[in-house]
């Protein structure tokens, strides 16, 4: 596979004459949206396969998470289709190369040429619901109190505001050294990593148990849902951290970044949904 041709770049690093991501990013994004619809709809159906009476609070939160995710992916899909030149809002045919440029400076491009900042609003809802779902799971020995749930929700929303701040910077690579947004963005990024680490610890304290529940010296049992959550939720921060290191050097930095977030979003939510349904015996 010609990775350079797929990604595109600048300064002779990974740039070639053509790139699917550069030339037709709507094909990839649209396909990812369709995959998200199918997977989330499938898992909503699986959640109810044994009847609504088997749907506890944690699973219900996941169902709501997936339903909202489907809605937003419909918005992304039809927004991308509209702006890609396949269909237009005003009936005027717009070339993709003009989208998000001085010709049409105010067009929100859903990640085609400008960063899809709407995803952070989506994540502030759906990722928070995923966090609370894990906190409500019945596999642990500690019941999450109101203040703990508030802390988890607050941290989850704060993480998305950092993502929004990160996306407000078009390119770290081309950023002027005197740009006042640079260091606040870095501080917010690393502070969010600390908050997320605290979130993982709090969730661990809720969901872990022991082979003999009343014997702390017995074998420690950590549910797979915690591992699925911790690993996949961490990947968002790592992906964002690649921007100043590598991604912003690409000509296709916006498109590659948005495709990555779309893949991570579906992977993280479905992984958590699937492991919780498996632990509850709803799927095998």
Residue 14: is its pLDDT beyond 90? no
Band of residue 88 on the pLDDT scale cut at 50, 70, 90: very low
- pLDDT of amino acid 142: 65
Two tokens, residue 279: 């632990």
| Mean pLDDT of the 122-141 span | 86
Residue 230 parent element (H or E): helix 224-245
The position carrying tokens 């740009």 is 179
Residue 247: is its pLDDT beyond 50? yes
Exposed/middle/buried for 260, CB within 10 Å: 0-12, 13-18, 19+? Answer: middle
The position carrying tokens 């082979």 is 211
| Mean pLDDT of the 83-112 span | 55
Band of residue 4 on the pLDDT scale cut at 50, 70, 90: very low
- pLDDT of amino acid 218: 74
Task: Encode pLDDT of 166-190 as tens digits.
Answer: 998 888 888 887 777 888 889 999 9
Distance CA 69, CA 24 (A): 24
Two tokens, residue 74: 């419909």
Task: Encode pLDDT of 249-259 as tens digits.
Answer: 988 888 899 99
Mean pLDDT of the chain: 83
209, 133 Cβ separation under 8 angstroms: no
């Amino acid at each position: 596979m010609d990775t350079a041709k797929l990604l595109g770049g600048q300064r002779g690093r990974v740039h070639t004459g053509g790139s699917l991501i550069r030339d037709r990013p709507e094909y990839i994004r649209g396909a990812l949206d369709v995959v998200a619809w199918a997977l989330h709809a499938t898992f909503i159906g699986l959640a109810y396969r044994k009847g609504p009476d088997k749907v506890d609070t944690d699973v219900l939160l996941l169902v709501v998470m997936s339903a909202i995710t489907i809605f937003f992916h419909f918005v992304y899909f039809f927004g991308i289709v509209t702006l890609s030149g396949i269909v237009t809002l005003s009936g005027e045919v717009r070339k993709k190369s003009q989208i998000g440029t001085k010709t049409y400076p105010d067009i929100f491009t859903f990640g085609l040429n400008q960063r899809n900042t709407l995803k952070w609003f989506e994540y502030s809802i759906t990722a928070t619901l995923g966090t609370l779902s894990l906190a409500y799971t019945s596999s642990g020995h500690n019941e999450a109190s109101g203040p703990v749930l508030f802390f988890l929700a607050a941290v989850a929303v704060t993480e998305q505001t950092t993502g929004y701040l990160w996306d407000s910077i078009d390119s770290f690579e081309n950023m002027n050294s005197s740009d006042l947004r640079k260091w606040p963005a870095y501080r917010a990024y690393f502070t969010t990593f600390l908050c997320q680490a605290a979130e993982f610890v709090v969730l661990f304290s809720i969901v872990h148990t022991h082979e003999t529940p009343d014997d702390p010296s017995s074998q420690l049992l950590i549910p797979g849902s915690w591992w699925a959550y911790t690993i996949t939720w961490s990947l968002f921060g790592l992906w964002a951290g690649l921007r100043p290191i590598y991604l912003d050097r690409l000509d296709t930095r916006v498109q590659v970044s948005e495709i990555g977030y779309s893949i991570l979003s579906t992977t993280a939510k479905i992984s958590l949904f699937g492991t919780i349904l498996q632990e509850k015996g709803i799927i095998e």
